[in-house]
Chains A and B, each alone.
Chain A
Amino acid sequence: MAVDWQLAAFLALSVLEVGGSILVVTAKKLVHAVFWLAMTLVTIGGIYLVLQAEFVFLIQILVYAGAVPVLFLFGIMLTRRKIMEEVTPGEVPETPAEPPKEGFA
């Protein structure tokens, strides 16, 4: 029983990569999308490793996976985020607060 381990690794990595890249565009929260993007980039690096291009793999990790935190920072700072959101004066909050009760019984 000869198993083509290289093919198996390629298939596993590409499933992760395709899944991750779909999740990048479908994720509701931007920060989640950035996280999946990091996974996609690392798995692309893994495919480089399967192709025996170690240098490209390491540079992929060092450059792309290293740059994802910057994207993360911009994602947090330049967009509105649901988590940790403060209601600024003059802005309508997305979930209206409960109407105050009509006095105490």
Chain B
Amino acid sequence: MSGALVSPDLFTLCKTLITGIMKIQADAILAGAPVGSPVEPLRGVAYFLMEDWFLTFNAWMIAITIMVTWAAAIQLLTMMWIERKFYSRLQDRYGIMISIWSLPFWPFSWWAKRKNKPTHRGLGYLQNVADGVKLLQKENITPANADSAMFHTAPVLIASSTVMIFAALPFSEGFVIANMPMSLLFILAAFSLAPLGILIAGWASNNKYTLIGGMRAAAQLMAYEIPLLLAVVALLMYTGSLNVIDIVHQQERLLTMAGPIPIPAWNVFSIPQFIGFAVFLVAIMAEMERIPFDIPEAEAELVEGWLTEYSGMRFGLVFGFKWLRALAGSALVVILYLGGWSGPVFATLTPSVGGTVIPIPIIPHEVWFLLKVYLLFLLFVWVSWSVPRVRIDQILNIGWKRLIPLSLLAILLAAYFVALGPALGGIR
């Protein structure tokens, strides 16, 4: 248990920041417009700036901006970079290599030339930015017989419901916008809104490929929502809380010692939850439409599935949102089963007064959390680019005939272990 960088929480930090900035401005205005001077009415502006509702509103706005920038821009680009670079390596090639030294203007070009840096041999992080710029420049084409209004509404529905997940998804105890008592349910509800947008996108494009892709997406996403929620029910028998931060806090204690290695009490280290974990992993992979389950946009059968007709930045929006869902799904698995942001403690501080042990944040919570999320996402990518795509009937068979019975078994076992917990000597 090391410390968190963002503490006590994001909103409080933003409130402190905005109060400081507004106080400096208000003081400057009050000093510049003393009582009796011709600009005295300006003092009202200063009082307005220091009003509490104004500060609260601005603090919320800044908190939301920080979270959206962090999740939807920085993490989205990182996830895309991880995937593209890693599957290129799996296919024995370099992959994307556009880096900061590839920028064709001063000072980057000058510096690359001076240092003899090869201009297109970087790590490739900026390739996705370049692709985004390219998509922004492209024309937004509406198909001739498309239902224009719904065609343009669908990307908004998809993107907004995906960004909504990050209202409740924490990156550490503090790095969260809204810490609601039922945030897990909120995340799952926001996760389940996307099929409607996908189906609308598929229908409104007026194209057979998109319609079939939308139908397949709806069938698959609805089918895999059930084992997902049932696995969560099995988990809730153990945690008894719908708050994701509480769920992580419950996993922060020590389970046992395997020799010198301490084993934390993560939910995955228990018999019913391991079944639930396996079900959840497969189901979330299908919810992300990753490759073994990417039947809604199987390139070999349907051109690009339900997003065939989109062009320009709308395509970028509906294409990039998959990585945002991948980020949210990986983060959800990490929070529910893999201990969230809890990590080993490398150093502690025992003050002479009081005697409580204070962990020193050498590696802060956020870094642990992102490390786990990236590792899990690497596993997803590895599976995606190693196994062949399953057929639509196989997908539905796996969902309805394998995963749902398994998740029901997980619920049964979880209920059994919860009821007989003390009698079994602490077997989880």
Pair A76/B196 contact, Cβ less than 8 Å:
no
A62 within 8 A of B: yes
Complex interface: chain A residues within 8 A of B222 (CB)? 66, 69-70
Complex interface: chain B residues within 8 A of A55 (CB)? 182, 185
A38 within 8 A of B: yes
A61 to B165, CA, bound (A): 13
Q: Closest Cβ of chain B: how far from A37's Cβ, in Å?
A: 10
A65 to B196, CA, bound (A): 8
Partner of A31, one of B181, B186, B203, B221: B203
Within 8 A of A (CB), among B300-352: none
A31 to B200, CA, bound (A): 8
Pair A62/B189 contact, Cβ less than 8 Å:
yes
* A-B contacts, 21 listed (Cβ < 8 Å): A29-B147, A31-B147, A31-B200, A31-B203, A32-B150, A35-B153, A55-B185, A61-B190, A66-B189, A66-B222, A66-B225, A68-B196, A69-B196, A69-B218, A70-B218, A72-B199, A73-B218, A76-B203, A76-B211, A83-B147, A83-B206
We find that the number of chain A residues with CB closer than 8 angstroms to chain B is: 21
Complex interface: chain A residues within 8 A of B180 (CB)? 54
- 9 additional contacts (CB under 8 A) given A32-B150, A65-B192, A83-B206: A31-B203, A35-B200, A55-B182, A61-B193, A66-B193, A70-B222, A72-B200, A72-B218, A73-B218
B145 within 8 A of A: yes
Pair B150/A54 contact, Cβ less than 8 Å:
no
Within 8 A of B (CB), among A22-81: 29, 31-32, 35, 38, 54-55, 58-59, 61-62, 65-66, 68-70, 72-73, 76
Residue of B with least CB distance to A76 = B203
A62 to B222, CA, bound (A): 11
Interface secondary structure of A, over-half rule = helix
Complex interface: chain A residues within 8 A of B392 (CB)? none
A55 to B189, CA, bound (A): 11
Interface secondary structure of B, over-half rule = helix
Complex interface: chain B residues within 8 A of A61 (CB)? 189-190, 192-193
A29 to B222, CA, bound (A): 24
Complex interface: chain A residues within 8 A of B150 (CB)? 31-32, 35
Complex interface: chain A residues within 8 A of B219 (CB)? 73
A97 within 8 A of B: no
Complex interface: chain B residues within 8 A of A58 (CB)? 182, 185-186, 189
Within 8 A of A (CB), among B186-216: 186, 188-190, 192-193, 195-196, 199-200, 203, 206, 208, 211, 215
Pair A62/B192 contact, Cβ less than 8 Å:
yes
Complex interface: chain B residues within 8 A of A31 (CB)? 147, 150, 200, 203
Complex interface: chain A residues within 8 A of B192 (CB)? 61-62, 65-66
Q: Closest Cβ of chain B: how far from A67's Cβ, in Å?
A: 9
Contact flags B231-264 to A (C-beta < 8 A → 1, else 0): 0000000000000000000000000000000000
Pair B211/A84 contact, Cβ less than 8 Å:
yes
Partner of B181, one of A54, A59, A66, A84: A54
A29 to B221, CA, bound (A): 25
Contact flags B264-308 to A (C-beta < 8 A → 1, else 0): 000000000000000000000000000000000000000000000
Pair B196/A62 contact, Cβ less than 8 Å:
no
A38 to B225, CA, bound (A): 18
Complex interface: chain A residues within 8 A of B200 (CB)? 31, 35, 72
Residue in A54, A55, A66, A69 with the greatest tally of chain B CB atoms within 10 Å = A69
Partner of A84, one of B153, B188, B193, B206: B206
Pair B199/A69 contact, Cβ less than 8 Å:
yes
A66 to B195, CA, bound (A): 8
